[in-house]
Amino acid sequence: MPVTAEQLLIIKTAILDGTPAPVVAASGRPVSEVVRVCHERTIDVGLEELAIPGLDRASLEPLLTYCAELRCEGDGATCPGCKRRTEALGIHSLDDFIARYKEIVVGDGEVRLLGQGEGTLHTPALAALEKTWSGENYWFWARRILRKLRHGIRRAHIQGAAFADAGETPAVILMEPQLADNVGMVARAMANFGLDDLRLIAPRDGWPNEKARIAASGANYVIDDAVAFPSLEAAIGDVNWLAATTARQRDLRKPVMTPIEAVGEMRRRIDRGERCAVLFGRERSGLETSEVANADALIMIPVNSRFASLNLAQAVLILGYEWMRGSDAQSLGRVTTYEKPIEAGLYMGADRPATKDELIGFFEHLEGELDRLGFFNPPHKRATVVRNLRTMLTRMGATEQEVRTLRGIVATLAKGKGHARKPST
C-alpha cells in the first residue's frame, strides 16, 4: 500500500527558533534536508545517505509533492533554511538576518559579525553569506527532483565518451572544491578541450553531486567518471609529473612555466608513457604552500598583475585550450551530420572565388553603363578612372555569387526592374 505524505509527515515545533516545521515522522528531520540531499547527491545516493526508515523512491514522491505544491503554507509550517521561513520571520535584508544571531563567525574566525539575537552561525565567507542568507527555494528543488523521479535525469541521453585512452591526457585535480556548480563548469571546460580525467580531493558538497551534473550542461561522461579522493597524496599516487597552478609567488625552488610551456612538457612526458596532472586550488584561498611543494613545476597564467585571481573553471579552460591547440584532433567549432570541419580564413561554403573572366565581364558591364550615362567626364581621364575602379573592386576578392549580384545591381540601376523598368531611349 503506497505511503501518503500525511503518513510520512508530522508537524512539530522546531527546537531552533520555536517555528513550526514539517519533518519526516520516522526521523524528526526537516523536509528541507531530504530535498537538499536528494537534489545535491542524486536521488538514490541521497536516500542511501539519509537512511530514514520507510523513505524510498515510492514514499519520496508524496513527500516531494508536499513541498513542491507548498502545502506547508496551509499547515502554517516552514523548513529551516527555506526562503518561505525567512519571509515568515520578517527577515527582509542581510542586516535583519545578522541581527537574529548573537554572533556570525566568518571563515577561520578573524571576522565576526555581532547581532542582537541568540546562537552562533558559522559561514565560510561573507560572499557565501550574502548569497544564502535569504534561504533556498526548496519547493523549486522539489519540483526538479520530482521530474527526475518520474522521467529520469535531464540530459541522461547524452552519453559522450572519453576523448582519449587513460593517461593520454593530463588529469585535472581540484583541491577541496567548495561549490558543486564550479565542479560542473570545470567538467564542461574539460569536455570542450578533450580532457577526461577529473579528480576531486575532499569536495565540500560531497560526491557524486547532482548540482555538478546540471552545471556540466551535457558533459556527463566527465562527471560520471570523476573520482573523489580523501587526500592529495591519494589523488596523485599514480602521477609521474605534477604541475600546480598559482597566482602567488612561492619561495620554492621549482620551475615556473606558462600554460604553453607546461603543455609542451606534459606532451613530451606523456609520449614517453608518463602520467601527468595539473593541480588547481580552492576557490577561496587557492593552494597552500605545503600542497604546492608536492608539484614538480608551477604554472602561472599571464594576467593583469593588479587582478590575478581567476575563476576555477576559467583557469581549467585556459589550460585545456592550450592542450587542444597542439592536438591534431582540434576542430574550429562543432562538427555534426550537417556541419563539416572548417579551417581558418574566409569561409566560402558552396561558393568559389570569381574567375578573371567573370570579373572582367563585370568591369566591362559597369564601365559600359557609366559610359552611356556620361560618368567619365572629362573623357581624357577615363583610362585613369577605369584603372582605379578595377583596382578597388579587385581588392574585394569577390566570389562568383557576389559578381553575379553586383551585375544585377548595375543592370537594375541602369534600366530599372519590373514596374520600375525605364523606357528605352
Tell me if the pTM is above 0.75. Answer: no
Burial class (CB in 10 A: 0-12, 13-18, 19+), 173: buried
The Cα–Cα gap between 373 and 195 comes to 65
Closest to 64 measured CA to CA, from 154, 155, 135, 138: 138
One pLDDT digit (tens) per residue for the chain, 425 residues: 455 555 666 656 555 456 788 888 778 888 999 999 988 878 888 899 888 888 888 888 888 988 988 888 888 888 888 998 888 888 889 898 889 889 989 888 888 889 888 889 888 888 778 888 888 889 888 998 888 888 765 544 445 555 666 778 999 999 999 888 999 999 999 998 889 899 999 998 888 888 888 888 878 889 988 999 999 999 999 999 999 998 888 878 899 999 999 999 999 999 999 999 999 999 888 899 899 999 999 999 988 878 878 889 999 999 999 998 866 555 555 555 555 555 666 676 778 899 999 999 999 999 999 999 889 988 889 999 999 999 999 998 899 999 999 999 999 988 887 776 777 65
Q: Are 213 and 221 in contact (CB under 8 A)?
A: no
